[in-house]
Amino acid sequence: MSKGLKVALILITSAILLCGAVTGGIVLWFRANADSLKADGDKAKAEGEAFGRANDADACVTEGLRRIATAGFVAQAVNNIFVEHCLEVAQRRSDFCSDVPKKEDILSSATWAADQCAARNYEGDQPCARMMQAVQRACRGK
């Protein structure tokens, strides 16, 4: 076996082991935090529904964007629960969902989300684009 092949095998094996360790760590973290994550999700759902009853759909989106400004990845996911449940009960303008593409139309969905974020001064903002998926689910179904 050549030296180059040995090095390649060692690198591939190391990469596989590293991926396994990272995946295992993520699984363990989610298991250890499952109760807390569920509680956070339930709280976000209740807050979203309460906010949506008192505000319109545009306010739900604005509040969601305000909340993600300093949120980490997990908090962004919890915020998406807030937005989705807020939109389920909030009053919507008749055209609120008119330009929202079906989620199966991936290219149109990405373009729509980017356009929505840019229109709200969040151009190129990935948390905003991910939050727009919650708007899409509320408008087009899960």
Arithmetic mean of pLDDT, 43-59: 93
Residues 22 and 72 in one domain: no
- Please report the pLDDT score of residue 29 as a whole number: 65
- Give tens-digit pLDDT for 114-134: 999 999 999 988 999 999 999
Structural domain boundaries enclosing 24 = 1-32
- 61/4 Cα distance (integer angstroms): 54
Residues 50 and 101 in one domain: yes
Residues 49 and 81 in one domain: yes
Residues 59 and 93 in one domain: yes
pTM here is 0.74
**Domain count across the chain:** 2
Q: What single string gives the DSSP state of each residue in 20-65? A: HHHHHHHHHHHHHTHHHHHHHHHHHHHHHHHHHHHSBHHHHHHHHH
- Percent of the chain past pLDDT 90, that is, above it, reads 48
Residues 46 and 110 in one domain: yes
- Please report the pLDDT score of residue 142 as a whole number: 65
